[in-house]
Amino acid sequence: MLARSAQGLYWMGRYLERTKHVCRLLGLQTAALVDRPVQEIHSGWSRIYNSMGRLPPGGSLERDSTDEFTLADSFTLADDLTFERSNPDSVWTCLSSGRENARQMRHCISPEMWTRLNLAYLRIQKLDILEIWSSSPESFYVETAAEMDTFMGVAAATMYRDEGWHFTEVGRYIERAQLAASLFLAQLAEDPATEEEAAADWTNLLHAYSALETYQSRYGIEVRPTQALDLLATDPLVPGSLCRSLDVMQAELVSIGSGPNAASSAAAQRVAGRLRALIHYEWPDAQDHKGILERVVQYCRDLHDMTAVTYFDYTIESLPMR
């Protein structure tokens, strides 16, 4: 596969995975505005921004005890994370970037994939924060996340299983693993005032990863942070778990095979193996889960760089001699 095509599909996968991730978090956050305590709402916004490594508009999140100011702040923060063109992680930017990569790679994806993605893109172009805020903002985020799930389902059903498919999946799962580890770190950095607030925060994360029912069937109704984190990090049967993301990502890299530079390909495989080992072998005995999650984030960044050097941005000198 041409390096340019591989790169476009890789970034398509990353951008659309990020779109879904942000929509799921914002859907839960805006739904909480209806009846949740002010402190819990503030904690949710803080978790989202800290996980993205982004400063909110105004430079910081000030805690306020009045519902009126909390709702006004939430409107501004939701706009920044949804429609702000200068924010590289906003829903609008990620969906637009994913769609542009798909447009350039239309020869590599199925017509059904392009149709689903283009419909989602055209819908969001007609909206702004005032329009979605005036009715039910959480419905917009739920619908957009569902559109991303539909796109991925259509891709799984219709895309040819060549290298293009594997590059798309590698992009998706590197992004998913990095976002999950960053989100768990942001939650660990929060300091809830009560155990009830901590349980509410982790319940929201279980909701975000469609794992609440699994948790309750295994541990019961009461949500304990350590058990919730273990489930989201190590259960390979939870679709969005860190463990599953890293397992699939390594398998897709193996399916792609060696790039033009065999040494660089081998190095990328080693980093992928270290990532899996952190969760499969170090996590169960570790006392410092925060340290492991920090290493996961760094290894994901390293693996991204190695993937780019191995398959996209290699030099002519690295090509094997004929």
Mean pLDDT to the nearest integer, 87-111: 97
pLDDT tens-place string over residues 233-253: 999 999 999 999 999 999 999
Rounded (10°) CA dihedral 213, 217, 221, 227 = -90
The pTM of the full predicted model, rounded to 2 decimals, is 0.93
Cα gap 67→80, rounded to integer Å = 20
pLDDT at 39: 81
Cα gap 142→73, rounded to integer Å = 21
What's the token pair of residue 118?
């283009």
Assign 106 to helix, strand or coil. Answer: coil
pLDDT at 322: 47
Q: Provide the number of structural domains found in the chain.
A: 1
pLDDT at 260: 80
Sequence length of the chain is: 322
pLDDT tens-place string over residues 140-164: 999 999 999 999 999 999 999 999 9
Residue whose entry in the numeric block shows the structure tokens 């590599």:
108
Closest-CA residue to 113 (of 16, 210, 19, 240): 16
pLDDT tens-place string over residues 163-173: 999 999 999 99
pLDDT tens-place string over residues 44-72: 899 999 999 999 887 666 655 555 556 66
Q: Residue 43: which pLDDT band, with cuts at 50, 70 and 90?
A: confident
Domain carrying residue 300: 3-318
Cα gap 283→305, rounded to integer Å = 25
Helices 225-234 and 212-219, axial angle in degrees (round to 10): 120
Longest dimension (CA), the chain: 71
- 39 Cβ neighbours under 8 A, 6+ residues apart: 63, 193, 197
Mean pLDDT to the nearest integer, 82-93: 96
pLDDT, averaged across the chain: 91
What's the token pair of residue 322?
């004929």
- 184 Cβ neighbours under 8 A, 6+ residues apart: 205, 229, 232, 233, 242, 293
